Chain A
Amino acid sequence: MGGGAPQWPRWHELSLLVWIATFAITGFVAVLATETSSFNLTAVVVPVVFLALMLALHVFLVSIRFRGDQILMPIAAGLTAIGLVLVQRLASDLLFQQLSWSIIAAGAFAATIVVPRDLTALARFKWTWALLGVLLLIAPLFPVIGREINGARIWIKLGPGSIEPWEAVKILLVVFFAAYLEEYREVLSHSQRRIGPFPVPPVPYLVPIVAMWGIAMLVMVFEKDMGATVLFFGIFLAMLFLATGEAFYAVIGLALLVLGGIVAYQLFGHVQARVDTWLRPFDEDLRFGTGYQLVQGLYALANGGLFGAGLGNGMPERIPVVWSDFVFDAFAEEAGLAGALALLALYLVFLYRGMLIALRAPTMFLQLLAAGLSFIVALQTLVIVGGNLRLIPLTGITLPFVAYGGSSLVTNWMLVGLLMRVSQVSTRMRGGGGPS
């Protein structure tokens, strides 16, 4: 920050939030203007409530003299605002629910900022997190509490609704891996034995790797969710690479994943359907069947062009379940390539800030934690956007912050909270301040 810095402690955050507010209000007005139905009070209340909420978070951070990162929160707020505008556009009956979820998410964010007194202490309970994670991961498989929605068994019943435990699992996994790998990275990365060019760690250290792969495959087979499988295994491989620097682990891990995928393709109908749909969605037998959703998504993209049809002027509602699976295509139809690239840029900046925090973190545990958390957001974005763009098979992963869905929104905001906490630790240790 330069010498003429304003006195307000989190000035950068505030000024970025002004841009978010501008976008949110413009977006809601644009969608409202194109709707032929009568004036809807919710549509005015929602942006006002949301912006008040974000301002409250900002004031909260200032009031507790929080000195961490000032960029991540406005990005998360911006993405959540885009999400709300799109819910209003695509499924306005779900708007109130999504607003409620963002209030809960803001609460969870604030709690994350305050509650864990010492982040490093998280590492001490690593086996607790691992056990909790595995339990949550397999919870949907149990009768009574487990639920199957749209063919994937990844939900559990909770009160009147259902939540995706997977969303919490990803954070628990990163915390566990960060702690575990900090402890054992020496053994894993400086293996004495080699077979040819390949490092071979001692057998006891190979066990968790194989176990993780096994769990990932079980998830794919029994919960029928390729997205969770890819994320789960992807987090594991990324963490392993971060800790050891051995690209070999990543390569062999990817090979195992592809191998597992090929076997699953032969054995399981749901995997086969996904892959076939990806390879030839326009074929006559698929375009009205399993390929319908993807094909409608591609039509939406095609209608986008360079600058889009304009908010409210496209017809992304033709895509089934657009508000949770295909928000990217919907946004690209109405905001065009320009909007789509801007959206991707937001995630890229998020990734950059997160990784910068990781680089500056004082301990290896915190480094791994920050890098792992940033990786989750980037991987989720790449996997779902890649699926929407037919670059890879479509999976049921949510677009972070934007896609409709409560569990996802809450955990992603907690993730932002954790990242900001890590940045605060580094700031405090260096005794500095400011955004950079």
Chain B
Amino acid sequence: MTSPISANIRSLTLTLALAFLVTSIGAAYWTVLASDQLANDPFNPRLIAATNGRARGAIVDRNGAAIATSERTDTGFARSYKDRTLAQVVGYASSKFGLSGVEAAYAESLIGQDPADPVSIWRARYLGDRSPAGQVVLGIDLKIQKAAADALGGRKGAIVALDPRTGAILASVSVPGYDANQIVDPSKQDAAFDQLTHDAGHPLLNRVSQGLYPPGSVFKVVTGAAALESGFDPTKKLRVDDPYQADKSWGDYYVRSSSRAHGLFDMSDGFRLSENIYFAQVGLQIGAAKLTDYARRFGIGSTPALDLAAAKGQLSDSGSIDRPTLLADTSYGQGELLVSPLQMALVYAAIANGGVMPTAHYATEVRDPEGHVVRQIAPGPVGQVISPATAKTLTTMLVGAVAGPGAFAFGAKIPGIDVAGKTGTAENRPGEPPHGWFVGFAPAQNPTVVVAVIVENTPEGGVTAAPLGAAVMRAALGK
């Protein structure tokens, strides 16, 4: 039968069939192709609900001490957080507000579905296994963590300690913190979360990896490394006369010395006395390209690889050093630089580790319910960012910056151990007190711990921060 509209019916059917094809591809996209990413989205309720009838895995420190556990209640399981100072690191697993921190980053592992452990996944999914899910072991050592938290006290700021050989984070404190137990308590969570999200102190922010600060003098190692590797002679004396300007084109712009210095400085003196004018001149001599190159090698202005959220920071507002005054200011750590404490710790870890920068990580192992290790978390190093010789030279100078005559970072000294380190007093917004920095490592000959300390808005700057660094290193070294 031929009808004038038969062809039209066929065309319409074909069009609809094609639409069905597109729809099928859409279904394949969401169920299979985009599946992994969505399944691990921290707001996916399945990541929490999987543990409604089963204890969520525990989070423990490197010695097995509990940091977060699930305890049975009348209605199921309740999460219990043991260490408030680790709030931003451990995060929370709330059926209402989703997941954050380690709870989010290792969500699958904590519900017994670590990708490296397919047997547990199948047991839980198809055999209804309800034994407690596996554990996540952190690199955190609660003893060092306590020392760091005590050292910072109630002051706003952050302390991070890591092992320069592996990148494992040993302690991580960010103040102000919060009590995650309130976020998982149905009767308090709404008020608590509302208060936390509106708190001007940003307690939910992990200042260690997400807080961005001008680095000030702790950045001078980057300028020093760039100079050493460009053939700059560190023993060459440079004339320092406060205030300094390279030429008249700077107008009324000057680099100031914090000690109003006049005299001849070599690089050791520059580090020991934290002389801005010395490093400004070094930067101007080696040029913006070299400094930019080494800043990038050290990870300034790029997001560090980390198993939790981390901020990127910047070398400058535009991303490049495009004028001499900015080059001079950047060379001693000011200008428009922004870094996180973790980024600074990694810079010093590279120096401590013979020029090889490690990859930072909070977790070190995932274990199954029986305690067998199903996955080691040991990311390889970022790479060789400076030569071993440069690293050695810088280490010697940083030891001098702590223990040399008149050294600014004297507060970081530990009896019987060589500490390498540098203080910083970072100017920020006009009218606000500066931030105090200390970044260092010990023992200088064979470093096992790097510490970065920042104390926000402290008039004494680096002088305040140095002893805090010493306290943490002592805890790490057992001294």
| A residues apposed to B, CB below 8 Å | 185, 238, 241-245, 287, 295-296, 298-299, 301-306, 309-310, 313, 315, 318, 332, 336-337, 340-341, 344, 347-348, 351-352, 355, 358-360, 362, 364, 367-368, 371, 375, 378-379, 382, 385-386, 389-391
Contact present for B12 and A241 (CB under 8 Å)? yes
- What 0/1 readout, one digit per residue, does chain B (43-76) give for beta carbons within 8 Å of chain A? 1111001000000000000000000000000000
Could you tell me the distance between the alpha carbons of A340 and B389 in the complex, rounded to whole angstroms?
62
- Starting from the known contacts A318-B49, A378-B19, A391-B22, 11 additional A-B residue pairs (CB-CB under 8 Å) come to A241-B11, A245-B4, A295-B43, A298-B38, A302-B38, A302-B44, A336-B31, A340-B27, A364-B5, A378-B16, A386-B26
A residues in contact with B46, CB < 8 Å? 299, 303, 315, 318
Residues of chain A within 8 A of B29, CB atoms compared? 389
| In the complex, chain B residues whose CB is within 8 Å of the CB of A348 | 17, 20
The answer to whether A332 touches B13, judged by C-beta atoms less than 8 angstroms apart, is no
Whether the pair B5, A368 counts as a contact (CB closer than 8 A) is yes
Query: Do residues B27 and A389 form an inter-chain contact, with CB atoms below 8 A?
Result: yes
Point out the residues of chain A lying under 8 angstroms from B126, CB to CB. Answer: 310
CA distance A347 to B12 in the complex (A): 15
Contact residue among B1, B26, B44 (Cβ-Cβ distance under 8 Å from A389): B26
Known contacts: A243-B8, A299-B44, A360-B1. The answer to whether A305 contacts B16 by CB under 8 A is no
Contact with A along B102-139 (1 / 0, CB 8 A): 00000000000000000000000110000000000000
**With A301-B31, A367-B5: A382-B45 Cβ-Cβ less than 8 Å:** no
Q: With a CB–CB cut-off of 8 A, which chain B residues contact A310? A: 126
Contact, CB under 8 Å: A371 / B125: no
B16 touches A375 (CB 8 A): yes
B56 to chain A, nearest CB (A): 16
The digit string for B186-198, where 1 denotes a CB below 8 A from any CB of A, is 0000000000000
Choose among A332, A337, A379 the residue with the greatest number of B CB atoms under 10 Å from its CB: A337
Whether, in the assembled complex, B39 has its beta carbon less than 8 Å from a beta carbon of chain A, the answer is yes
Contacting pair A355 B9 (CB below 8 A): yes
Known: A351-B13, A351-B16. A341 touches B38 (CB 8 A): no
Which residues of A lie under 8 Å from residue B12 when comparing CB positions? 238, 241-242, 355, 371, 375
In the complex, A36→B191 CA distance in Å?
Answer: 34
Contact in complex: B43, A287 (CB < 8 Å): yes
Q: Are B16 and A358 in contact (CB under 8 A)?
A: no
Q: Is the CB of A341 within 8 A of B27?
A: yes
Once the chains bind, are A352 and B31 in contact (CB under 8 Å)?
A: no
Contact of B8 among A245, A341, A389 (CB under 8 A): A245
| A242 CA to B28 CA, complexed, in Å | 32
Q: CB < 8 Å: which of A243, A302, A318, A362 contacts B31?
A: A302
CA distance A417 to B24 in the complex (A): 28
B interface residues, tally (CB under 8 Å): 40
The 24 sampled A-B contact pairs (Cβ below 8 Å) are A241-B11, A242-B5, A242-B8, A243-B8, A245-B8, A298-B38, A299-B39, A299-B45, A301-B30, A302-B30, A303-B39, A310-B126, A313-B125, A332-B27, A344-B20, A352-B13, A355-B10, A358-B9, A367-B9, A379-B16, A382-B20, A385-B23, A389-B26, A389-B27
Would you call A242 and B45 a contact (CB within 8 A)? no
Q: Are A371 and B9 in contact (CB under 8 A)?
A: yes
In the bound complex, residues from chain B placing their C-beta under 8 Å from that of A337 are 27-28, 31-32
Q: With a CB–CB cut-off of 8 A, which chain B residues contact A389?
A: 23, 26-27, 29-30
Chain A's nearest CB lies how many Å from the CB of B124?
11
Structural contact, B20 and A318, CB atoms closer than 8 A: no
Given known pairs A344-B24, A348-B17, A385-B23, the reply for A332 and B31 (CB within 8 Å) is yes
Tell whether B34 is near chain A: CB-to-CB under 8 Å.
Answer: yes
Q: Is B3 an interface residue (CB 8 A)?
A: yes
How far does the alpha carbon of A332 sit from the alpha carbon of B35 in the complex, in Å? 12
| Chain A residue at smallest Cβ distance from B41 | A299
Residue of A nearest to B6 (CB): A359
| Interface pair A364/B3, CB less than 8 Å apart | yes
- Residues of chain B having any CB pair with chain A under 8 Å: 1, 3-13, 16-17, 19-20, 22-24, 26-32, 34-39, 41, 43-46, 49, 125-126
Quote the shortest CB–CB distance from B187 to chain A (angstroms).
20
Cβ–Cβ contact B45 & A296, under 8 A: yes
Are B3 and A302 touching (Cβ within 8 A)? no
Take A315-B49, A382-B19 as given contacts and tell me if A302 and B34 are in contact as well, using a CB distance cutoff of 8 Å: yes
Contact B5 A306 (CB under 8 A): no
Please give, as numbers and ranges, the residues of chain A lying within 8 Å of B45 by CB-CB distance: 296, 299, 315, 318
Q: How far is the CA of A299 from the CA of B43 in the complex (A)?
A: 9
When chains A and B are docked, how far (Å) is the Cα of A344 from the Cα of B28?
A: 12
- Report the minimum CB–CB distance from A340 to chain B (whole Å): 5
Among B7, B17, B41, B46, chain A packs the most CB atoms within 10 A around the CB of: B46
Q: Given the complex, which residues of A lie within 8 Å of B41, measured CB to CB? A: 299
**Who on chain A is nearest to B37 by CB?**
A302
Measured between alpha carbons, how far is A309 from B35 in the docked complex, in Å? 13
> Which of B4, B7, B29 has most A Cβ within 10 Å?
B4
Query: Beyond A301-B27, A315-B46, A364-B3, is A242–B9 a contact (Cβ under 8 Å)?
Result: yes
B161 to chain A, nearest CB (A): 32
Nearest chain A CB to B3 CB, angstrom units: 6
Query: What 8 pairs between A and B have smallest CB-CB spacing?
Result: A302-B38, A301-B30, A389-B26, A304-B31, A337-B31, A355-B13, A302-B35, A340-B27
Known: A299-B44, A306-B32, A337-B31. A243 touches B38 (CB 8 A): no
**Docked pose: A364 CA to B30 CA in angstroms:** 42
Decide: B9 and A359 in contact? CB cutoff 8 A: yes
Inter-chain contact B39/A302, CB cutoff 8 Å: yes
Bound-state Cα–Cα, A299 to B47, Å: 10
A347 near B31: Cβ-Cβ < 8 Å: no
In the docked arrangement, what's the CA distance between A131 and B348, Å?
Answer: 81
Interface centre among B27, B37, B41 (most CB of A within 10 A): B27
Name the residue among B23, B29, B43, B45 with the largest chain A CB count within 10 angstroms: B23
CA distance A348 to B284 in the complex (A): 72
Complex Cα spacing A347 to B17, Å: 10
Smallest CB separation, A399 vs chain B (Å): 12
Please measure, in the bound complex, the distance between the C-alpha atom of A351 and the C-alpha atom of B23, giving whole angstroms: 15
Tell me, in angstroms, the Cα distance from A347 to B16 when the chains sit together.
11
Min Cβ gap A293→B in Å is 13
A337 to B27, CA, bound (A): 7
Query: Cβ of B28: which chain A residues have Cβ within 8 Å of it?
Result: 337
Shortest CB-to-CB span from B248 to chain A, Å, is: 51
The smallest C-beta distance from A301 to any residue of chain B, in angstroms, reads 4
The answer to whether residues A382 and B23 also contact, given A287-B43, A305-B31, A367-B5 and a CB cut-off of 8 A, is yes
Which A residue sits closest to B53, measured CB to CB? A36
Alpha-carbon separation in the docked complex, A362 to B5 (Å): 12
Chain B residues within 8 Å of A359, by CB: 1, 3, 6, 9-10
